[in-house]
Amino acid sequence: MTVEVAPRVKAMESAVDYEEILLRELAVPEFAAEYLSAALQEAEPEAFLLALRRVVQANGGVS
On the question of pLDDT at 17 being above 80, the answer is yes
pLDDT digits over 24-54, tens only?
A: 999 999 999 999 999 999 999 999 999 999 9
Burial degree of 27 (CB within 10 A; 0-12, 13-18, 19+): middle
Q: pTM of the full predicted structure? A: 0.72
Return the higher-pLDDT residue of 25 and 14.
25
On the question of pLDDT at 61 being above 80, the answer is yes
pLDDT class of 21 with cuts at 50, 70, 90: very high
Q: How many residues does the chain have?
A: 63
